[in-house]
Structure formats: C-alpha cells, structure tokens
Amino acid sequence: MSDPTPTPTTTTAPAETPVETPSTAPTAPPTVPTGPTGPTSLTITVLVQSGARHNFLLDTAYLDRHAVKAVTEPLDMTVTQLKECIWKDWRDDWDQRPASAQFIKLIQFGAYLQDSSMLKDCRLSLDGANVIHMAIRPAESGADDETQRSTKAGRQSSRERNAEGGSSTGCRCVIL
C-alpha cells in the first residue's frame, strides 16, 4: 500500500535552491476584511416623466459638494435632502425645472416617498439598482401672493372672495 499523504518534493533550480512544487505549497485562507470597507455609495436612477433618465452616484464627495448637513452616509439622507440635490443638479434635457424642490415627487415601487423619511427606510440597496420615478407637481394657478394670502386668511367661500373683489379659483384636481 502506498502512503495517502503526498510527500513534499523539491527540485533544484540552477542556483541550487530548493523550491516547493505548487501541489505541496501551503495554502493561506483568503483574507476577509475586518472593519469598515470604506465609504459607501448609493446609485439612484431617476426616471423623468418625459422618458429621460439620469444616474446619481451619492457618495461622500457628492454629499460634501452639495453641502448636505449632518450626513456622512448616503442612506442617512432624508427624502427632502435628496429632492434638493436633484433640484440643484437639474438637467437641461428634463422637463421645465420646478420653482423649488418641494414640487418634486419621488415614487418608488408605486408609492410616494415621504419627505421626512430616511433613505435607509425606503428599501434602497447599496449593491443593486435603485430606480425612482420623478413627477413634478404642477404649480398653483394664479399669483403666488394670492395663494399665500388665501391660505393665511383661512377658507372663504367663492361668494366671499368675489364680494371682496378676489378671483374665484374653484376646485382643482391633479392626478399624477
């Protein structure tokens, strides 16, 4: 019977130094990184109603460039902060830029993302593709001053507004 364990074989190189063959060389286990693996990045693909798309790479450099306050990781951003970043990076090939980031609505998996929620609570993945649809809420018809005055004064009937000389805006419905 032969011995089942292979015996190390050595060969002599021209310089007379022993060399182990690959079959008997000790194998080291693969190293597993311990601790943080470096800064995380989040890739978000924004789909606009017009069909245009744009990839955003959110990493520490992006957060610094956009002066996102009190955030060191992309998943610690709120949806409002993400909207502000999208609004600042508005592209020319998209629809007309809204007056502010408040008019942007973000939709993921058929649900609106709430402004106060954190991105880590929105089922976003650091590894895979994150597709978010962007819709623009239409601006109120009429002057901004008139809209602000009517909301501060409380609700008035259309007769009261017409009696005071104001315009009657009536009911409005927007389906996105």
Q: Is 37 a member of any domain?
A: no
Per residue in 16-71, pLDDT (tens digit) is 555 544 444 454 444 433 334 455 888 889 988 888 888 888 888 888 888 877 67
Per residue in 109-139, pLDDT (tens digit) is 888 999 889 988 888 888 888 899 998 887 7
Across the range 103-109, mean pLDDT stands at 91
CA distances from 80 to 47, 60, 119, 132 (A): 17, 18, 10, 14
Q: Is 142 a member of any domain?
A: no
**Total H helices, total E strands in the chain:** 4, 7
Q: Is 92 a member of any domain?
A: yes
Q: Is 47 a member of any domain?
A: yes
Number of structural domains found in the chain = 1
The CA distance from 17 to 39, in Å, is: 46
Q: Is 148 a member of any domain?
A: no
Beta strands in the chain (DSSP E): 10-12, 18-20, 42-48, 53-58, 104-108, 111-112, 130-136
Phi, psi of 44 (to 5 degrees): -125, 130
Query: What pLDDT score does 176 carry?
Result: 73
Q: What share of the chain is helix, strand, coil (3-state, %, to 5)?
A: 25, 20, 55
Q: Is 119 a member of any domain?
A: yes
pLDDT band, very low/low/confident/very high, at 106 (cuts 50, 70, 90): very high
Query: What pLDDT score does 129 carry?
Result: 81
Q: Is 28 a member of any domain?
A: no
Q: Is 57 a member of any domain?
A: yes
Residue 48 belongs to domain spanning: 42-136
Whether 90 shows a pLDDT value over 70: the answer reads: yes
C-alpha triplet 153, 158, 159: angle, nearest 5°: 105
**Residue 63 belongs to domain with CATH number:** 3.10.20.90
Looking at this protein, which amino acid is placed at residue 14?
P
